[in-house]
Structure 1
Amino acid sequence: MTSASPGPSRLTETVDALRTALAESTDLLGSTLGGTLDEAGAAEAAADGVPRAYLDFCRVLDGVSCGPSVQLFGLEEAEEHQFYCEPVVDSPLPLSPEKLYCVGMIQEAPVYLDRADGGVLGAPEAGPDWVDAERLERLAPGIEAFFLERLADPAEYRRLALVDDELVEYDDWLKLLRRAGLSG
């Protein structure tokens, strides 16, 4: 008896649709989709303590810039931003490199992967004053869910990116989502 291999995941299908739409959209300058992380790079990063959930995501999409205010880092860029996990004097946030891994930015505020449960945390409403936030908000149960339910969902992306009604038609990420057939 042969076992059927599972079909492509929702993440893979979404990223493939976005890549196809981006390749056909030479007018979109504000959105960038990273490549994929190879197994050797993933193994090396895992040995260095990078969370497995993040590496699994990077095997499908190694970073995405949705525009100037919202991005998920590729592995190389993430490694350069781990200083955001260090405790900050007088900040009420429970920052710790042992507990958090910085995976992106929203409105100049870091986005973290919780090493314990894989949840995505941040204080995007605080923007550049994120260190003064009272707590980190749970943005999604995992990085794949964060991408699919928050960044690849036009309404949620608009909220996170603070895209007001007058700017909707000019936002390249929203155009890309529409062209990829992802406009809710």
Structure 2
Amino acid sequence: MRRRTVLFACFAAMAAPLAAADMDIDALCLDCHRGGGGGRYQAPVIEGQHAAYLAAQLARFRERHRDSFPMSPVVAGLDDAQLDALARVLSVRDWPAVAGEPPAARIRRGAALPLADGCEKCHGEGMAGAAEAPRLAGQQRGYLERQLRAMAAGTRTHPEPSPGGADLSTRDIRDLAAWLQAGAPPAGR
């Protein structure tokens, strides 16, 4: 029932785009994007993400340069000003805690992967994100694993150095995602 309500809200938003201040962000965005969901199809946490990054991704969904149901239909009718306003509203919210702590051994192995050192160049110190790259520290592990698998398979683009170019094993992907979910602590913790 809840899923049907969310889909109805998404299609209602397409029919009559509103200003970000008038949007029910909890219903339109956070029913899916608030941390704590289970399984491998978790949506990414977006509260507290950088506004410029969010606005760019929303525009990519709108223009169908990035596709993920229901994102493209939800933002299809929004103009740049509405996307920017929505991104600003989401960016000033606190980053929520993600449910579940990954195993310590997995976190240590993820921190020890050679790839982990190169990510901060774009994703910022402590993987806290930047205007051009998302925050990864504290992100949903299922979402991170799915994106890393897509990069490794070449179905999701990523600028170089790319995690896909690192020939990540399934274990590497799980460990790297666990390390990121735990907040990307330095190796040896």
TM-score, normalised with respect to structure 2: 0.22
Between Structure 1 and Structure 2, the one with more helix by share is: 2
Between Structure 1 and Structure 2, the one with more strand by share is: 1
With a CA cutoff of 8 Å and minimum separation of 6, indicate the structure with the bigger relative contact order.
2
